[in-house]
């Protein structure tokens, strides 16, 4: 009986890890469906972003798909910079690997998009700027 009770926590852990894996797979499938036809798309732990038809749109991935937070036209984009997450208006340094936010300034308003990883954010900005320069 005791040996059976020792295996019970392992069984619970296995079920929980399986459920978490299924939820992440579902999240990625919903993102792929939303990102179809996009010129550029990125899934981060904090946000899903895409560039499609000259518009940058982003939001969080929920159980029903991507819930759009905002979108902006590329030709209205004035500034795109990475900012430190918890340091107010301090630009992100090249050595940082912490959570950060992407600041987009357009039409007189500033929009902050959270990223969980600065390396992924830098890659997104580099890819975005290489594609946006053709449209500006």
Show the 3-state SS of 95-129. Answer: CCCCCEEEEEEECCEEEEEEECCHHHHHHHHHHHH
C-alpha of 35 from chain center: 12
Q: How far apart are CA 1 and CA 7, in angstroms?
A: 10
Residue for token digits 């594609």? 131
Beta strand pairing status for 65-73 and 77-84?
unpaired
DSSP code, position 47? -
Tell me the two tokens of residue 82: 């990475």
How many CB atoms are closer than 10 A to CB 33? 10
User: The domain that contains 54 carries what CATH number?
Assistant: 2.30.29
Our count of domains for the chain comes to 1
What domain range is 70 assigned to?
2-132
Sheet holding 48-52, edge to edge: 40-43, 48-52, 55-62, 65-73
> pLDDT truncated to tens, each residue of the chain (136 aa)?
677 778 888 899 999 999 999 999 999 999 999 999 888 888 888 789 998 888 889 888 888 888 888 888 888 788 788 877 666 665 665 666 677 888 888 888 888 888 888 888 888 888 888 877 655 4
Angle at 100 between CA 25 and CA 63, to 5 degrees: 25
User: How far apart (Å, rounded) are the C-alpha atoms in residues 106 and 34?
Assistant: 24
């Amino acid at each position: 009986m005791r040996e059976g009770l020792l295996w019970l926590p392992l069984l619970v852990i296995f079920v929980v890890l399986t459920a978490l894996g299924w939820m992440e797979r579902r999240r990625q499938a919903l993102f792929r469906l939303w990102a179809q036809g996009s010129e550029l798309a990125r899934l981060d732990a904090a946000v899903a972003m895409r560039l499609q038809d000259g518009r940058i749109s982003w939001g969080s991935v929920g159980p029903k798909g991507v819930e759009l937070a905002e979108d902006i036209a590329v030709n209205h984009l004035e500034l795109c910079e990475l900012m430190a997450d918890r340091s107010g208006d301090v630009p992100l340094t090249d050595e940082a690997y912490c959570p950060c936010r992407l600041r987009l300034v357009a039409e007189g308003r500033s929009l902050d998009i959270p990223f969980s990883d600065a390396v992924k954010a830098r890659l997104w900005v580099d890819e975005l700027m290489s594609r946006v320069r053709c449209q500006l």
